[in-house]
C-alpha cells in the first residue's frame, strides 16, 4: 500500500471504479477474498472515508472509494452489473471468497457454454462472477 504521490501502473483496458460504504474495509475484504494487492490509497478523512484506493486483482486494476454525497457521489446500492474474474482454478478462488465472507448466489457449475462458472455477492453489495474456461 502506498499513501505517497507514487502513481502505480493502471492495468487493463476497462477499469472498474466502485463506490462502496467503507472502501478501506472493502479493500481488506478484497485482499482476503480475491488475493487483491493494494497499490495506492488516499488517506482517510475525518469521517473515516477515502476518495481513492487502487487494487490489483487477477492482473487488472480495480479502484474504489467511499460515497461522497457532498461532492456528487451519493450512496447508491450496486446493481445491474457483475465483475467477472477469469481464473484457472475456480474451486480455489471461489472457496477463498466464500471463506472471506462472500455470499454464493450461483454455485460453481458447468454452464451451457462449457465453462465452469459461479457467482457471489460481497458484503458491500457488489456482484462477482468467476469463470474457468474449459
Q: What is the pLDDT of residue 85?
A: 96
Query: How would CATH label the architecture of 16-71?
Result: 2-Layer Sandwich (3.30)
- Tell me the whole-structure pTM to 2 decimals: 0.91
Q: What is the pLDDT of residue 77?
A: 80
pLDDT digits (tens, 9 = 90+) for 7-54: 888 888 889 999 999 999 999 999 999 999 999 999 999 999 999 999
Q: What is the pLDDT of residue 6?
A: 74
3 has a pLDDT exceeding 70: no
- Strand pairing class (127-132; 116-121): antiparallel
CA 89, CA 69: separation in Å to the nearest integer? 39
CATH number of 83-132, picked from 3.30.720.110, 3.30.450.90, 3.40.50.300, 2.60.40.10: 3.30.720.110
Amino acid at each position: 500500500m502506498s499513501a505517497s504521490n507514487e502513481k502505480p501502473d493502471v492495468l487493463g483496458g476497462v477499469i472498474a471504479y466502485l463506490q462502496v460504504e467503507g472502501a478501506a474495509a472493502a479493500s481488506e475484504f478484497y485482499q482476503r477474498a480475491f488475493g487483491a494487492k493494494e497499490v495506492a490509497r488516499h488517506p482517510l478523512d475525518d469521517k473515516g472515508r477515502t476518495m481513492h484506493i487502487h487494487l490489483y486483482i487477477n492482473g487488472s486494476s480495480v479502484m474504489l472509494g467511499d460515497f461522497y454525497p457532498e461532492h456528487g457521489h451519493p450512496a447508491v446500492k450496486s446493481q445491474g452489473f457483475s465483475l467477472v474474474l477469469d481464473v484457472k482454478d475456480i474451486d480455489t478462488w471461489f472457496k477463498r471468497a466464500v471463506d472471506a465472507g462472500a455470499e454464493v448466489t450461483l454455485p460453481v457449475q458447468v454452464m451451457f457454454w462449457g465453462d465452469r462458472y459461479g457467482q457471489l455477492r460481497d458484503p458491500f453489495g457488489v456482484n462477482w462472477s468467476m469463470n474457468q474456461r474449459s
